[in-house]
Protein backbone atom coordinates (compact mmCIF):
# COMPACT_ATOMS: atom_id res chain seq x y z
CA UNK A 1 0.00 0.00 0.00
CA UNK A 2 2.80 2.41 0.89
CA UNK A 3 4.29 2.28 -2.61
CA UNK A 4 1.08 3.58 -4.22
CA UNK A 5 1.12 7.05 -5.71
CA UNK A 6 -2.31 7.62 -4.22
CA UNK A 7 -5.82 6.27 -3.68
CA UNK A 8 -8.65 7.83 -5.71
CA UNK A 9 -12.32 7.62 -4.76
CA UNK A 10 -14.73 8.22 -7.64
CA UNK A 11 -18.32 8.97 -6.61
CA UNK A 12 -20.89 8.70 -9.42
CA UNK A 13 -24.64 9.20 -9.23
CA UNK A 14 -24.87 6.87 -12.19
CA UNK A 15 -26.78 3.63 -12.75
CA UNK A 16 -24.80 0.69 -14.08
CA UNK A 17 -26.85 -1.15 -16.68
CA UNK A 18 -25.98 -4.06 -18.92
CA UNK A 19 -28.30 -2.83 -21.68
CA UNK A 20 -26.73 0.64 -21.73
CA UNK A 21 -22.96 0.54 -22.13
CA UNK A 22 -22.24 4.02 -23.40
CA UNK A 23 -19.65 6.74 -23.51
CA UNK A 24 -19.41 7.35 -19.77
CA UNK A 25 -19.10 3.63 -19.05
CA UNK A 26 -16.15 3.47 -21.45
CA UNK A 27 -14.62 6.54 -19.80
CA UNK A 28 -14.87 5.02 -16.32
CA UNK A 29 -13.20 1.78 -17.41
CA UNK A 30 -10.44 3.56 -19.36
CA UNK A 31 -9.82 6.01 -16.49
CA UNK A 32 -9.53 3.14 -14.04
CA UNK A 33 -6.98 1.32 -16.21
CA UNK A 34 -4.98 4.52 -16.77
CA UNK A 35 -4.87 5.29 -13.04
CA UNK A 36 -3.71 1.79 -12.18
CA UNK A 37 -1.02 1.97 -14.86
CA UNK A 38 0.24 5.09 -13.07
CA UNK A 39 0.29 3.34 -9.69
CA UNK A 40 -2.96 4.70 -8.27
CA UNK A 41 -5.63 2.62 -6.58
CA UNK A 42 -9.21 3.52 -7.49
CA UNK A 43 -12.39 2.77 -5.53
CA UNK A 44 -15.74 3.36 -7.21
CA UNK A 45 -19.01 4.41 -5.54
CA UNK A 46 -22.02 4.11 -7.87
CA UNK A 47 -25.77 4.50 -7.30
CA UNK A 48 -26.20 0.74 -7.64
CA UNK A 49 -24.04 -2.36 -7.70
CA UNK A 50 -24.31 -4.83 -10.54
CA UNK A 51 -21.83 -7.59 -11.37
CA UNK A 52 -21.36 -6.58 -14.98
CA UNK A 53 -18.70 -8.16 -17.15
CA UNK A 54 -17.86 -4.76 -18.64
CA UNK A 55 -16.86 -3.49 -15.19
CA UNK A 56 -15.04 -6.61 -14.00
CA UNK A 57 -11.70 -4.82 -13.45
CA UNK A 58 -13.15 -2.02 -11.31
CA UNK A 59 -13.12 -2.07 -7.52
CA UNK A 60 -16.77 -1.16 -6.97
CA UNK A 61 -17.84 -0.71 -3.36
CA UNK A 62 -21.18 -2.58 -3.00
CA UNK A 63 -24.19 -0.32 -2.56
CA UNK A 64 -27.41 -1.41 -0.88
CA UNK A 65 -29.65 1.16 -2.59
CA UNK A 66 -28.42 4.46 -1.17
CA UNK A 67 -27.53 7.52 -3.20
CA UNK A 68 -23.91 7.55 -4.33
CA UNK A 69 -23.22 10.52 -2.04
CA UNK A 70 -24.63 8.87 1.07
CA UNK A 71 -22.97 5.59 0.11
CA UNK A 72 -19.60 7.36 0.06
CA UNK A 73 -20.20 9.28 3.30
CA UNK A 74 -20.96 5.98 5.04
CA UNK A 75 -17.52 4.68 3.98
CA UNK A 76 -15.51 7.85 4.57
CA UNK A 77 -13.65 6.45 7.55
CA UNK A 78 -12.75 3.16 5.86
CA UNK A 79 -9.96 4.52 3.64
CA UNK A 80 -7.67 7.52 3.49
CA UNK A 81 -8.19 8.79 -0.02
CA UNK A 82 -5.68 11.16 -1.58
CA UNK A 83 -8.19 12.30 -4.21
CA UNK A 84 -11.99 12.36 -4.45
CA UNK A 85 -13.67 12.88 -7.83
CA UNK A 86 -17.43 13.23 -8.21
CA UNK A 87 -19.60 12.81 -11.32
CA UNK A 88 -23.34 13.62 -11.60
CA UNK A 89 -23.50 14.76 -7.96
CA UNK A 90 -24.35 18.11 -6.37
CA UNK A 91 -22.19 21.00 -7.48
CA UNK A 92 -21.48 22.64 -4.14
CA UNK A 93 -23.05 21.45 -0.90
CA UNK A 94 -22.64 20.12 2.61
CA UNK A 95 -21.59 16.83 1.00
CA UNK A 96 -18.28 18.43 0.01
CA UNK A 97 -17.80 19.90 3.48
CA UNK A 98 -18.19 16.43 5.02
CA UNK A 99 -15.58 15.02 2.65
CA UNK A 100 -13.02 17.70 3.47
CA UNK A 101 -13.65 17.43 7.19
CA UNK A 102 -12.98 13.70 7.06
CA UNK A 103 -10.16 13.95 4.48
CA UNK A 104 -8.58 17.39 4.96
CA UNK A 105 -5.49 16.55 2.91
CA UNK A 106 -7.36 15.12 -0.07
CA UNK A 107 -7.93 16.93 -3.36
CA UNK A 108 -11.65 17.22 -4.11
CA UNK A 109 -12.74 17.59 -7.75
CA UNK A 110 -16.32 18.00 -8.95
CA UNK A 111 -17.20 17.16 -12.57
CA UNK A 112 -20.38 18.88 -13.74
CA UNK A 113 -22.39 17.00 -16.40
CA UNK A 114 -25.74 18.57 -15.57
CA UNK A 115 -27.57 20.73 -18.15
CA UNK A 116 -29.42 23.84 -17.08
CA UNK A 117 -33.12 24.51 -17.79
CA UNK A 118 -33.87 26.14 -21.13
CA UNK A 119 -34.91 29.44 -19.52
CA UNK A 120 -32.48 29.23 -16.60
CA UNK A 121 -32.99 28.67 -12.91
CA UNK A 122 -35.60 30.55 -10.92
CA UNK A 123 -34.50 33.51 -8.81
CA UNK A 124 -34.97 31.38 -5.69
CA UNK A 125 -32.74 28.64 -7.09
CA UNK A 126 -30.05 31.15 -8.10
CA UNK A 127 -30.02 32.68 -4.63
CA UNK A 128 -29.74 29.24 -3.03
CA UNK A 129 -26.80 28.39 -5.31
CA UNK A 130 -24.98 31.60 -4.35
CA UNK A 131 -25.58 30.89 -0.66
CA UNK A 132 -24.20 27.36 -1.08
CA UNK A 133 -21.12 28.80 -2.75
CA UNK A 134 -20.51 31.14 0.20
CA UNK A 135 -20.84 28.25 2.63
CA UNK A 136 -19.19 25.36 0.79
CA UNK A 137 -17.09 26.49 -2.21
CA UNK A 138 -13.95 26.61 -0.10
CA UNK A 139 -14.08 22.82 0.31
CA UNK A 140 -13.86 22.09 -3.44
CA UNK A 141 -10.41 22.24 -5.05
CA UNK A 142 -11.50 22.01 -8.70
CA UNK A 143 -14.67 22.18 -10.75
CA UNK A 144 -14.61 20.64 -14.22
CA UNK A 145 -17.23 21.47 -16.82
CA UNK A 146 -17.63 19.10 -19.77
CA UNK A 147 -18.02 22.05 -22.17
CA UNK A 148 -17.37 25.78 -22.16
CA UNK A 149 -21.13 26.18 -21.78
CA UNK A 150 -20.91 24.19 -18.55
CA UNK A 151 -17.96 26.20 -17.24
CA UNK A 152 -19.88 29.42 -17.92
CA UNK A 153 -22.86 28.13 -15.93
CA UNK A 154 -20.79 26.87 -13.00
CA UNK A 155 -19.46 30.40 -12.60
CA UNK A 156 -22.89 31.92 -13.24
CA UNK A 157 -24.46 29.63 -10.63
CA UNK A 158 -21.83 29.96 -7.91
CA UNK A 159 -20.27 33.35 -8.60
CA UNK A 160 -16.87 34.67 -9.60
CA UNK A 161 -15.25 33.30 -6.44
CA UNK A 162 -15.11 29.87 -8.12
CA UNK A 163 -13.72 31.09 -11.45
CA UNK A 164 -10.02 30.44 -10.61
CA UNK A 165 -10.90 26.86 -9.69
CA UNK A 166 -13.02 26.04 -12.77
CA UNK A 167 -11.91 24.65 -16.12
CA UNK A 168 -13.24 22.77 -19.15
CA UNK A 169 -12.43 19.18 -20.07
CA UNK A 170 -14.49 18.11 -23.05
CA UNK A 171 -16.19 14.75 -23.16
CA UNK A 172 -14.54 12.28 -25.49
CA UNK A 173 -15.53 8.97 -27.01
CA UNK A 174 -13.91 5.71 -28.08
CA UNK A 175 -13.94 6.17 -31.84
CA UNK A 176 -12.63 2.62 -32.37
CA UNK A 177 -15.98 1.04 -31.39
CA UNK A 178 -17.95 3.11 -33.93
CA UNK A 179 -18.06 1.93 -37.55
CA UNK A 180 -17.88 4.74 -40.09
CA UNK A 181 -20.65 5.02 -42.67
CA UNK A 182 -20.15 6.21 -46.22
CA UNK A 183 -20.99 9.85 -46.94
CA UNK A 184 -24.08 9.74 -49.12
CA UNK A 185 -24.16 13.42 -50.10
CA UNK A 186 -27.21 14.85 -51.82
CA UNK A 187 -30.07 12.37 -52.34
CA UNK A 188 -33.68 13.03 -53.32
CA UNK A 189 -35.25 10.72 -50.76
CA UNK A 190 -38.70 10.97 -52.34
CA UNK A 191 -37.33 9.34 -55.49
CA UNK A 192 -34.79 6.83 -54.23
CA UNK A 193 -35.14 5.46 -50.71
CA UNK A 194 -36.53 6.63 -47.35
CA UNK A 195 -34.68 9.17 -45.25
CA UNK A 196 -33.66 7.30 -42.10
CA UNK A 197 -33.58 9.38 -38.92
CA UNK A 198 -32.63 8.13 -35.47
CA UNK A 199 -33.27 9.65 -32.05
CA UNK A 200 -31.17 8.40 -29.14
CA UNK A 201 -32.37 9.89 -25.87
CA UNK A 202 -33.80 9.48 -22.43
CA UNK A 203 -37.54 9.92 -23.00
CA UNK A 204 -38.44 12.98 -20.98
CA UNK A 205 -40.04 16.30 -21.87
CA UNK A 206 -36.80 18.29 -21.76
CA UNK A 207 -35.38 16.23 -24.65
CA UNK A 208 -37.88 17.85 -27.04
CA UNK A 209 -38.88 14.67 -28.87
CA UNK A 210 -42.46 15.92 -28.87
CA UNK A 211 -41.27 18.72 -31.18
CA UNK A 212 -39.82 16.20 -33.64
CA UNK A 213 -43.16 14.37 -33.70
CA UNK A 214 -45.03 17.65 -34.18
CA UNK A 215 -42.72 18.61 -37.05
CA UNK A 216 -43.19 15.26 -38.76
CA UNK A 217 -46.94 15.66 -38.34
CA UNK A 218 -46.79 18.78 -40.55
CA UNK A 219 -45.22 17.00 -43.50
CA UNK A 220 -47.21 15.81 -46.50
CA UNK A 221 -48.20 12.17 -46.97
CA UNK A 222 -45.75 11.93 -49.86
CA UNK A 223 -42.93 13.21 -47.65
CA UNK A 224 -43.88 10.91 -44.79
CA UNK A 225 -43.75 7.97 -47.17
CA UNK A 226 -40.10 8.92 -47.67
CA UNK A 227 -39.11 9.05 -43.96
CA UNK A 228 -38.41 6.40 -41.33
CA UNK A 229 -37.73 7.45 -37.72
CA UNK A 230 -36.43 5.15 -34.99
CA UNK A 231 -36.40 6.23 -31.35
CA UNK A 232 -33.93 4.49 -29.02
CA UNK A 233 -34.34 5.04 -25.30
CA UNK A 234 -36.84 4.84 -22.48
CA UNK A 235 -38.12 7.15 -19.78
CA UNK A 236 -41.11 8.70 -18.01
CA UNK A 237 -42.40 10.54 -21.10
CA UNK A 238 -42.67 7.47 -23.32
CA UNK A 239 -46.44 6.99 -22.95
CA UNK A 240 -47.14 10.61 -23.92
CA UNK A 241 -44.84 10.36 -26.94
CA UNK A 242 -46.49 7.15 -28.12
CA UNK A 243 -49.90 8.79 -27.79
CA UNK A 244 -48.70 11.81 -29.78
CA UNK A 245 -47.45 9.50 -32.52
CA UNK A 246 -50.86 7.82 -32.67
CA UNK A 247 -52.73 11.14 -32.63
CA UNK A 248 -50.67 12.32 -35.61
CA UNK A 249 -51.13 9.03 -37.52
CA UNK A 250 -47.37 8.47 -37.56
CA UNK A 251 -47.34 4.83 -36.42
CA UNK A 252 -45.93 3.71 -39.78
CA UNK A 253 -43.26 6.42 -39.69
CA UNK A 254 -41.96 6.31 -36.10
CA UNK A 255 -40.79 3.18 -34.28
CA UNK A 256 -39.84 2.92 -30.60
CA UNK A 257 -37.01 0.47 -29.96
CA UNK A 258 -36.21 1.00 -26.27
CA UNK A 259 -32.65 1.01 -24.93
CA UNK A 260 -29.91 -0.74 -26.85
CA UNK A 261 -26.32 -1.65 -25.90
CA UNK A 262 -25.22 -1.53 -29.56
CA UNK A 263 -26.03 2.07 -30.52
CA UNK A 264 -22.48 2.67 -31.85
CA UNK A 265 -22.93 -0.19 -34.32
CA UNK A 266 -26.40 0.99 -35.37
CA UNK A 267 -25.40 4.55 -36.28
CA UNK A 268 -24.13 3.53 -39.71
CA UNK A 269 -27.65 2.42 -40.70
CA UNK A 270 -29.10 5.95 -40.58
CA UNK A 271 -28.80 9.25 -42.45
CA UNK A 272 -29.07 11.75 -39.58
CA UNK A 273 -29.23 11.85 -35.80
CA UNK A 274 -32.14 14.03 -34.70
CA UNK A 275 -31.81 15.61 -31.26
CA UNK A 276 -34.40 18.37 -30.67
CA UNK A 277 -33.36 18.83 -27.04
CA UNK A 278 -34.10 21.74 -24.68
CA UNK A 279 -31.23 20.89 -22.28
CA UNK A 280 -27.74 19.58 -22.93
CA UNK A 281 -24.22 19.93 -21.54
CA UNK A 282 -22.07 18.19 -24.13
CA UNK A 283 -23.80 15.28 -25.74
CA UNK A 284 -22.01 11.96 -26.07
CA UNK A 285 -24.71 10.88 -28.52
CA UNK A 286 -23.74 13.76 -30.81
CA UNK A 287 -20.06 12.87 -30.59
CA UNK A 288 -20.76 9.20 -31.37
CA UNK A 289 -22.98 10.18 -34.28
CA UNK A 290 -20.35 12.44 -35.81
CA UNK A 291 -17.72 9.72 -35.31
CA UNK A 292 -19.88 7.45 -37.49
CA UNK A 293 -20.00 10.12 -40.24
CA UNK A 294 -23.64 10.59 -39.29
CA UNK A 295 -24.61 14.32 -39.41
CA UNK A 296 -26.71 15.79 -36.63
CA UNK A 297 -29.89 17.85 -36.59
CA UNK A 298 -30.07 19.54 -33.20
CA UNK A 299 -30.76 22.69 -31.23
CA UNK A 300 -28.59 25.59 -30.08
CA UNK A 301 -28.65 24.60 -26.41
CA UNK A 302 -25.75 23.70 -24.14
CA UNK A 303 -22.45 22.84 -25.75
CA UNK A 304 -24.00 21.80 -29.06
CA UNK A 305 -22.56 24.80 -30.90
CA UNK A 306 -19.09 23.86 -29.66
CA UNK A 307 -19.11 20.81 -31.92
CA UNK A 308 -21.95 21.22 -34.46
CA UNK A 309 -21.32 23.76 -37.21
CA UNK A 310 -24.42 24.61 -39.22
CA UNK A 311 -24.40 23.14 -42.74
CA UNK A 312 -20.89 21.72 -42.13
CA UNK A 313 -21.55 18.64 -39.96
CA UNK A 314 -25.21 19.16 -39.20
CA UNK A 315 -28.15 21.54 -39.02
CA UNK A 316 -28.98 23.79 -36.08
CA UNK A 317 -32.33 25.24 -35.04
CA UNK A 318 -33.59 27.03 -31.94
CA UNK A 319 -35.21 24.85 -29.26
CA UNK A 320 -39.01 24.60 -29.63
CA UNK A 321 -38.80 26.17 -33.12
CA UNK A 322 -40.91 23.49 -34.78
CA UNK A 323 -41.34 25.52 -37.99
CA UNK A 324 -37.56 25.68 -38.39
CA UNK A 325 -37.25 21.93 -37.91
CA UNK A 326 -39.96 21.41 -40.55
CA UNK A 327 -37.93 23.58 -42.93
CA UNK A 328 -34.81 21.46 -42.32
CA UNK A 329 -36.72 18.22 -42.90
CA UNK A 330 -38.28 19.62 -46.09
CA UNK A 331 -34.84 20.62 -47.34
CA UNK A 332 -33.27 17.23 -46.67
CA UNK A 333 -36.13 15.18 -48.13
CA UNK A 334 -36.16 17.24 -51.33
CA UNK A 335 -32.34 17.33 -51.62
CA UNK A 336 -32.08 21.09 -51.05
CA UNK A 337 -30.01 20.48 -47.90
CA UNK A 338 -27.25 17.91 -47.42
CA UNK A 339 -24.02 17.33 -45.53
CA UNK A 340 -21.44 16.14 -48.01
CA UNK A 341 -18.20 16.18 -45.99
CA UNK A 342 -17.03 13.53 -43.47
CA UNK A 343 -17.87 14.38 -39.87
CA UNK A 344 -15.58 11.77 -38.27
CA UNK A 345 -12.20 13.59 -38.51
CA UNK A 346 -13.19 16.32 -36.02
CA UNK A 347 -13.99 13.70 -33.37
CA UNK A 348 -10.82 11.72 -34.00
CA UNK A 349 -8.73 14.88 -33.68
CA UNK A 350 -10.44 16.73 -30.83
CA UNK A 351 -12.99 14.69 -28.91
CA UNK A 352 -11.47 11.23 -28.42
CA UNK A 353 -11.57 9.20 -25.23
CA UNK A 354 -7.83 8.97 -24.48
CA UNK A 355 -7.57 12.77 -24.58
CA UNK A 356 -10.43 13.06 -22.10
CA UNK A 357 -8.84 10.48 -19.78
CA UNK A 358 -5.41 12.14 -19.94
CA UNK A 359 -6.80 15.60 -19.19
CA UNK A 360 -8.78 14.31 -16.22
CA UNK A 361 -5.78 12.44 -14.91
CA UNK A 362 -3.57 15.50 -15.30
CA UNK A 363 -5.57 16.98 -12.41
CA UNK A 364 -4.60 13.97 -10.29
CA UNK A 365 -0.93 13.49 -11.06
Both 160 and 185 in one domain: the answer is no
The total of structural domains in the chain comes to 2
Question: Is residue 181 located within the same domain as residue 315?
Answer: yes
| Whether residue 216 sits in one domain with residue 159 | no
Neighbour count for residue 365 (Cβ, 10 Å): 13
pLDDT under 50: residue ranges of the chain: 1
CA 31 distance to own-chain centroid: 17
Asked if residue 278 is part of any domain, the answer here is: yes
**What pLDDT is recorded for position 191?**
64
Of 62, 65, 8, the residue nearest 34 (C-alpha) = 8
Distance, CA of 96 to CA of 100 (rounded, Å): 6
Regarding whether 272 and 194 lie in a shared domain, the answer is yes
Instruction: Please report the pLDDT score of residue 139 as a whole number.
Output: 98
Which CATH number fits the domain that encloses residue 119?
3.40.50.2000
Residues 13 and 93 in one domain: yes
In a domain, 304, yes or no: yes
The answer to whether residues 60 and 148 belong to one domain is: yes
- CB half-sphere exposure, 266, CA atoms < 13 A: 16
Instruction: Provide the residue range defining the domain that includes 298.
Output: 175-349
Co-location of 267 and 336 in the same domain = yes
236 part of a folded domain: yes
Q: How high is the pLDDT of residue 1?
A: 44
Q: Are residues 256 and 270 in the same domain?
A: yes
Kind plus residue range of the DSSP H or E element containing 168:
strand 166-168
**183 plus 139 within the same structural domain:** no
181 and 86 assigned to the same domain: no
168 and 238 belong to one structural domain = no
Going by C-beta distance under 8 Å and a sequence separation of 6 or more, which residues neighbour residue 133?
92, 157, 158, 159, 161, 162
Relative orientation angle of helices 123-136 and 148-158, to the nearest 10 degrees: 80
The answer to whether the beta carbons of residues 48 and 15 sit under 8 Å apart is yes
Query: Do both 63 and 153 map to the same domain?
Result: yes
316 backbone dihedrals φ, ψ, rounded to 5°: -115, 140
Residue 74 lies in a domain: yes
1 domain residue, yes or no: no
pLDDT, one tens digit per residue, over 154-183 is: 999 999 999 999 999 999 999 999 999 887
The answer, as to whether pTM is greater than 0.85, is yes
pLDDT in tens, 67-96: 999 999 999 988 899 999 999 999 999 999
Amino acid sequence: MSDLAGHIAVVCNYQLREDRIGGMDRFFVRYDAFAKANNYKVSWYFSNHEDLEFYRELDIVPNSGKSAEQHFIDHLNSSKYSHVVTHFTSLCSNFHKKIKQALPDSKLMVVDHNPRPLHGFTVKKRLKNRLKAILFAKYVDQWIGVSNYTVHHIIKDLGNLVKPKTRCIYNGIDVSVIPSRDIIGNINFTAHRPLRLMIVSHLRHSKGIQDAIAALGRLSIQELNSIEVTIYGEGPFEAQLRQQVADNNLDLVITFKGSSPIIPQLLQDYDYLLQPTYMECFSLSILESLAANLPVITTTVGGNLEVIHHEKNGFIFEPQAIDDLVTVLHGIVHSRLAIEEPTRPLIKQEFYLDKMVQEHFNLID
